[in-house]
Amino acid sequence: MKQAVARLIDSGCIALAAVIAAHIAPAQGHESGPLQLLFAIVILMSSAALLPIVRVYAVSPMRSLYRLGTRVLPAWLALQFAGLLLLLSIQHQDETLVSWIAWWTCIGVVLLAAWRVIASTMRSSPRVVGLRARNIVVVGNGEYLKLIVAKVDSSNHPDFRVAEVVELHDAGDRPGSAMGEHGQTKLARLAGLAESGGIHEVWLALPLSAHAAAAHCIEALKNTLVEIRLMPDFMPLGLYAGVASLDTLDIPSLSLSPSAISDEAMTGKEIFDRAFALVALIGLAPLFVAIAIAIKLSSPGPVFFRQRRKGLKGRPFSIYKFRSMRVHAQERGVVRQATRNDNRITPVGRFLRRTSLDEIPQFINVLRGEMSIVGPRPHALEHDDLYGPLISGYLDRYRIKPGITGWAQINGYRGETDALEKMAGRVEYDLYYLRHRSFWMDIKIVLRTVVRGFLSKQAY
């Protein structure tokens, strides 16, 4: 998403530069005006195609002014020079057009450079850095640990701030070797800090031989939602320069978290979700009103049913549904799931549940930013407490916003989960979605939900 925004800004700067230059060196004669407009369109389209080819956006322009001088400006100047040669071959004696191109080129240089400088300055300002920086804990031992910490501190990187350093002096290097009592205490404290939300990432800066220490760290953090990065020391093997590095820090990095969804992809997903929900609520407004009236006529009680669920990073929110049951008192701390022929369900409610129309109000949750169109279905808090310790990877579902529909639902895992195996199967599909999610996968899930997902034998 950041790359798309950068491309739009570049195109806007180039178009604006052309307009400003046209006012400084206006076209003369009836032939120059159309030719000037045609030339501007050709250059604008060519720049939109050329800049990505020369990898201007491989690293966000807001992060690297180096690319401004090595790729952006040379590409722009080369494009304008080629365009000038082409124009002179068509219109030999038109000095006005040549003057316009010269002004356009210079103004384009200024605008393309200006927005990058401004963005870089804002990005690196203490106020912005303080808002954006992710608190990290670096875990490791020896000189490599000190090297990683020094690199982050000296870089003044806007995305990362070393909040704490955990040095494991007694980390075992052999498989199955035990962590000393002092090391276990440190890891327990680290897990508590991760559970409290005080840190965002844990970096394991360890030698390649310290796989036992890495295993102990991962085990200690398995019930948290903190991001874990393994940063092995490849320098003794002479492979340091050839290993994929973290952002611009030039540090070898391997993500151990199940979610591979980038910030850019998440931003794009957020835009899609809000737009889809808004259109859906507007388009379904008549049906929304009709269902509300039917619920009020079928039984006394509110139109909506609200229940607390957990969302992104485990933050609780109130989920909305159309009420499908008669109002009844629930036993505290116990969730009784709907079963087949459940006498609590009203006739209208049974139809709503079978067709999934009771889920329509959740578009409101999407507009509020609490849910997504596609994602793991949120469970009752009591189910989270029950299944979290029993199913491996259950908590990883919180690494993305819960959805109205999901990969598990279109593959048959809907309705009552009356056995541990059913919930484990649902979680397995949810984790598959986390690892493979894409925009087109979301579209596929939405379409399959619309075509065949509303009617299900498992929904009652």
Question: Which tens digit of pLDDT belongs to each residue from 289-325?
Answer: 999 999 988 888 899 999 899 998 888 999 999 998 8
In this predicted structure, what is the pLDDT of residue 171?
54
Tokens 């570049």 sit at which residue? 10
276-295 pLDDT per residue, tens = 999 999 999 999 999 999 99
Residue 424 has pLDDT above 70, yes or no: yes
Nearest to 399 by CA among 360, 425, 361, 427: 427
What distance in Å separates the CA atoms of residue 113 and residue 231, rounded to the nearest whole number? 35
Residues 6+ apart with CB under 8 A from 226: 194, 199, 200, 201, 202
Q: What top-level class would CATH report for the domain 133-257?
A: alpha beta
Task: Pinpoint the residues of the chain covered by CATH 3.40.50.720.
Answer: 133-257
Predicted local confidence at residue 371, as pLDDT: 94
Cβ neighbors of 210 (< 8 A, separation 6 or more) are 140, 141, 171, 172, 173
pLDDT digits (tens, 9 = 90+) for 357-393: 889 999 999 999 899 999 999 988 888 888 888 888 8
The predicted pLDDT at position 221 comes to 85
b (16+ CB within 10 A) / e for 321-346: bbbbbeeeeeeeeeeeebeeebeebb
Is 327 a residue whose pLDDT tops 80?
Answer: no
Residue 309 confidence (pLDDT): 92
Q: How far apart are CA 102 and CA 91, in angstroms?
A: 15
Q: What is the mean pLDDT of residues 222-236?
A: 80
In the predicted structure, residue 199 carries a pLDDT above the cut 80: yes
Q: Which of 261, 226, 60, 55 is nearest to 158 (CA)?
A: 60
What's the rounded Cα separation, in Å, for the pair 358 and 454?
A: 11
Confidence of residue 130 (pLDDT cuts 50, 70, 90): very low
DSSP H or E run through 202: strand 201-205
Question: What is the reported pTM?
Answer: 0.64
Looking at residue 373, what is its pLDDT? 94
